[in-house]
A and B are shown apart, each in its own frame.
Chain A
C-alpha cells in the first residue's frame, strides 16, 4: 500500500506525520515499510535520522532537445507542438532555439520534426539518495539540482527506485496542489491530508480536497496543531464527510523537538496513542 502525506498549505506537519507514520508502521505492522521524500525542492526527512547511513546516491537526468540549424527548415512545426512555448523559430533570420528552462522534456518537438533536426541530450536534474535508517527498508530521497525547476521528472525517477511492490510506502509530498503534488499522489492508494485549524489551513485544504476528488483518490484528514485557530476546518470536514483520522494537539515543546530533529528520540505517550489510532483506522480503510 502506498500512502501519500499531502497538504495544500506548507508547514502544517506533513513531514512530522510522514516520519512518525514510517516509525509506527514499522513498530505495529512490521519491517516492510519505506519512507520516500518526494519534496524534492527541499527534502528534509533525512534530518530526523541522524545516524542514517547513506547507501547509494544516483544522479538523475532529463532529456532536453536542441535544434541543429543546419538541418532545420524553420517550418515551426516543433514550436507549434510545444505546449510550453519553449521553442523560438524565426525563418527570416534563420533563428531556431529551445529554452531548456521552459522545456518539460515531453518529446513532442522531437516527434514533430520530419527533418531530423532535433536531438536530445541529458541534463542533470537532481540526485536520488538511499539511506539505511535502522527503520524498515530505509529512506529514499529526491533532491532537485539548484537552478532546476522541473520537479516531476525527478519524482518519477525517484519512484523507480522502489523495487519491492509489496512494501508499505510513505510518500512525503511537496506542499501545494501543483504538478509535483499530482505526480507524487498519482499512484497512491490513499492520501493523508494534514492541515492546521486556521483560516489559511482551511483555504488550502479546500483546494486540495477538490484535487483529490478530481483524481478520485481516497483520503482522510489529520488535524495538526489542534487547539489553535478556529472551527473552520472541523465544520468543513464535517460538511464534506471527510474521514478524520486523528488530531495532534499543538505543543510548543513538540515543535522545538521537531526543530532540533529529535521527534523520534523521546516520543510523548499522547503522540504514540494518536498514531496507533491512525494506523488502526488505516488498516480498516485499506485492504
Chain B
C-alpha cells in the first residue's frame, strides 16, 4: 500500500504542499517497508493539464491513497475513477514527517 503526500520539498521535514496538481514534490510512503521516496513534479508549472498529469502519475506509481490540501475538478474525477482515495487532513500547517507519523 502506497500513500502519496504532496510536499513543498524533497526532505522529510519539508512542509506539506496544499496543491495536488501543482505540488512541487510527491512523497511516496510505502506502508509495508516504511520507506519514503521523493519524486519531483515535472508538471507543477505546466500551462494546462497539471491535474490530469498528476493523476496519471499517481496511477503509474500505483498509489492507493493521496494526501493533499486540495484536488482540482479534473484530478478529482480521474482519481475517483482510478479508485485512488483522496484525503484532506484537518491540520495543513504540518511537515511530511508529522503527517507520516499520523498515518501510524
Contact = CB atoms under 8 A, between A and B. Distances in A.
Given A90-B56, A90-B60, A92-B60, A85 B78 contact: no
Query: Per DSSP, are chain A's interface residues mostly helix, strand or loop, or mixed?
Result: mixed
Given A93-B82, A95-B82, A99-B74, A88 B55 contact: yes
Interface in B53-88: 53, 55-56, 59-60, 62, 74, 78, 81-82
B75 to A, nearest CB: 10
Nearest to A76: B56
Interface in A87-136: 87-93, 95, 97, 99, 102
Interface stretch (B7-15, B27-35, B44-52, B94-102): B44-52
A79 B74 contact: no
Using C-beta atoms within 8 Å of the partner chain, give the interface range for chain A. Answer: 10 to 19
Contacts, number: 43
A84 B82 contact: no
B38 interface: no
B59 A90 contact: yes
Nearest to A82: B49
A89 B62 CA distance: 13
A79 B49 CA distance: 11
A88 B78 contact: yes
In order of increasing CB-CB distance, the 9 nearest A-B pairs are A85-B49, A90-B59, A88-B56, A85-B53, A102-B49, A88-B52, A84-B48, A102-B48, A93-B59
